[in-house]
Amino acid sequence: MSRAAFLLRRVGFAVVAVYLVVSVAFLFVAVPPDPGEASVAWEAARQSGGDEAQVQAAVEAYREARNLDDPLHERYLRWLVDVTTLDWGTSFRSDQPVLGILGSALPYTALYVVPAMVLSVLVGLGVGVFAAINHGSWKDRVAATSAYVGMSFPNFWFGQIAFFFLVYELSVIGSAPGLASSGEPLPGGTDPLSPYVLLHMVPAALVLATSLLAGQARYARAQSLEYVGSEFVKLLRAKGSSNLRVAGHVLRNAAIPMVSLFFTEMLAVLVLNIYVIEAVFNIRGLGTVTLQAIQSRDLPVVLGATMVVVLVGIAGNLLQDVAYASLDPRVGGES
């Protein structure tokens, strides 16, 4: 199979995976009873003195306004068409386009996620390879211990300590960037690139980077240890090569297994941690918008946020396949 055919097949698998995962998410959200109906029924009963006809009318109006009175399969097929045509619907809660809501939230998430990923990869790989080429020394023990300590601290605890210290002790940052829960602009404004928001993202990025960096360093050390005793390393040391050059050769040989961590474990950690980071630092990003949509049973926003997470995860795995094919000529090569 040619490399082009290999990549084309992977793209096809990615498209199918997107629809499968999001279809499961649709069923999980659409099949269970809607708690909003109970709330509407209770309010109608309170206002009408328990008149069943008015309660039923209120519930039916609620379902009709959200197209919940249609059969499940019709709602699902209509939703698939809308998703494919980038019509992700309108929020039940705010009556705003879902793409607009997610588009306004994603920059806040990206502002701390991207720097955290870059920092964790550069520093984590460097620390891991450095520890491996100094295996058994005090430098190796310090690096390994630091990685395990970094992984052991929960992000919610570390984030709360950092947030309290920076906000209440040093007054370095404000209480939150973006929009308050009421929707009113905060003193720093709503521009994601304003100094107020950027300064607020620094501690969030550092807290997120701790767990990501620790995982990268631990995995890089384990993979590099498989090559530090190889003949090519012994030859490099016999020629008097510096540790930096040795590390470069070790990293080049260990790059293929390391790719799997970057595109799988890192994405998994990110998806879980953005909800914690944004709750602690009051960041109105993707995690906050998703949690609010779940609490208010805002089906279009929940599915839209799920689509974003699924697309990022599957795109990451697709990039992993591309990286494998580029780094290892045996993958997707001519057979």
Q: What is the CATH number of the domain that holds 227?
A: 1.10.3720.10
pLDDT tens digits, 303-312: 888 888 888 8
Pick the most confident of 170-184, 246-260, 298-312.
298-312
What integer is the mean pLDDT of 242-268? 73
CA dihedral 153, 159, 162, 163 (to 10 degrees): -160
In sequence order, the β-bridge partners of residue 185 are 179
Q: How far apart are CA 218 and CA 151, in angstroms?
A: 9
Last residue of a domain, one of 50, 84, 118: 84
pLDDT tier for residue 198 given thresholds of 50, 70 and 90: confident
Check whether residue 79 and residue 162 sit in a common domain. no
Check whether residue 102 and residue 50 sit in a common domain. no
Q: Is residue 18 part of a domain?
A: no
What DSSP character marks residue 184? Answer: P
Please answer whether residues 277 and 68 qualify as being in contact, where contact means their C-beta atoms are separated by less than 8 angstroms: no
As a residue count, the chain comes to: 335
Place of tokens 């384990």: 222
Residue 131: CB atoms within 10 Å: 25
Check whether residue 157 and residue 59 sit in a common domain. no
How large a percentage of the chain has pLDDT more than 70? 79
In sequence order, the β-bridge partners of residue 97 are 90
- Find all residues with CB under 8 Å of 40, minimum gap 6, and list them: 58, 59, 62
Supply 269's token pair.
Answer: 């950690």
* Residue 181 scores a pLDDT above 50: no
Q: Say what the pLDDT of residue 146 is.
A: 76
pTM: 0.72
Q: How far apart are CA 318 and CA 125, in angstroms?
A: 22
Please answer whether residues 197 and 191 qualify as being in contact, where contact means their C-beta atoms are separated by less than 8 angstroms: yes
Q: Is residue 315 part of a domain?
A: yes
Q: Is residue 1 part of a domain?
A: no
Cα–chain-centroid distance for residue 147? 21
Q: Say what the pLDDT of residue 180 is.
A: 37
In 3D space, the residue among 291, 284, 289 whose CA is nearest the CA of residue 190 turns out to be 284
Residue 234 phi, psi dihedral angles, 5° rounding: -60, -40
pLDDT tier for residue 139 given thresholds of 50, 70 and 90: confident
> What is the pLDDT of the chain when averaged over all its residues?
76
Check whether residue 103 and residue 41 sit in a common domain. no
Grouping H, G, I as helix, E, B as strand and the rest as coil, residue 245 is helix
Grouping H, G, I as helix, E, B as strand and the rest as coil, residue 178 is coil
Check whether residue 75 and residue 148 sit in a common domain. no
Q: How far apart are CA 265 and CA 287, in angstroms?
A: 19
What integer is the mean pLDDT of 94-107? 88
Check whether residue 118 and residue 233 sit in a common domain. yes
Q: Say what the pLDDT of residue 238 is.
A: 82
Count: domains in the chain: 2
Q: Say what the pLDDT of residue 172 is.
A: 54
* Angle, CA of 29, 310 and 269, to the nearest 5°: 105
pLDDT tier for residue 189 given thresholds of 50, 70 and 90: very low
Give the long-range contacts of residues 7-15, CB within 8 A, separation 24 or more.
7/321, 7/322, 7/325, 7/332, 10/318, 10/321, 10/322, 11/318, 14/314, 14/315, 14/317, 14/318
pLDDT tens digits, 12-69: 888 888 888 888 878 877 777 776 777 777 777 777 777 778 778 887 887 777 777 7
What DSSP character marks residue 333? Answer: -
**Radius of gyration of the CA atoms of the chain, in A:** 25
Q: Is residue 8 part of a domain?
A: no
Residue 97 phi, psi dihedral angles, 5° rounding: -60, 135
Q: Say what the pLDDT of residue 122 is.
A: 85
- Domain extent at residue 169: 98-327
**Number of Cα atoms under 13 Å in the Cβ half of residue 79:** 26
* Residue 182 scores a pLDDT above 60: no
Listed range (16-25, 46-55, 163-172, 320-329) with the worst mean pLDDT = 163-172
Q: Say what the pLDDT of residue 156 is.
A: 61
- SS3 labels along 2-39: CHHHHHHHHHHHHHHHHHHHHHHHHHHHHCCCCHHHHH
